[in-house]
């Protein structure tokens, strides 16, 4: 695998999306969004061993989504919001472009259906 950089750019976003692709890692982020937690505190509710949780945390840390707190004993993990915001913004731009396009399609389909109704009515009147 290619090295994961911390610079802004698609390499960074790749790491973010790869980290987010796993349901356990999304759940860990969900837990950390409510406040910092140690590895032991994270492992308990997931019914996973601490090494298994640590592995997931490493992926999240490499993506810059999670940071280690200062407390040397507990080593609490903390969520980092910025990469998540970047990832959302990246996809949102694409979504908006297509949303504009689909809204045009909504309007066209509306017109086509009105036309069809109108034609049916006119036909009936002629009979």
Q: Which is nearer to another protein, 47 or 106 (CB)?
A: 106
How far apart (Å, rounded) are the C-alpha atoms in residues 122 and 108?
A: 21
Stretch that binds another protein, among 40-48, 50-58, 105-113, 117-125 (CB under 8 A): 105-113
Sorted by sequence, the CB contacts under 8 Å of residue 4 that are 6+ apart come out as 11, 12, 14, 15, 62, 63
Q: Is residue 109 a contact point for another protein (CB under 8 A)?
A: yes
The first and second tokens of residue 90, run together, are 């990246």
Q: Does the footprint of another protein cover residue 93 (CB under 8 A)?
A: yes
Confirm if 7 and 64 have CB atoms less than 8 A apart: no
- Sole binder of another protein in the list 88, 107, 117, 119 (CB under 8 A): 107
**Footprint of another protein on this chain (CB under 8 A)?**
10, 13-14, 17-18, 90-110, 112-113
């Amino acid at each position: 695998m290619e090295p994961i950089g911390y610079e802004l750019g698609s390499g960074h976003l790749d790491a973010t999306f790869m980290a987010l692709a796993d349901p356990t890692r999304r759940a860990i982020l969900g837990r950390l969004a409510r406040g910092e937690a140690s590895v032991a505190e994270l492992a308990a509710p997931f019914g996973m061993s601490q090494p298994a949780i640590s592995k997931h945390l490493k992926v999240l840390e490499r993506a810059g989504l999670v940071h280690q707190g200062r407390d040397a004993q507990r080593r609490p993990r903390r969520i980092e919001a910025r990469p998540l915001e970047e990832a959302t913004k990246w996809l949102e731009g694409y979504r908006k472009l297509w949303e504009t396009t689909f809204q045009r399609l909504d309007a066209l389909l509306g017109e086509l259906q009105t036309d069809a109704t109108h034609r049916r009515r006119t036909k009936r009147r002629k009979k």
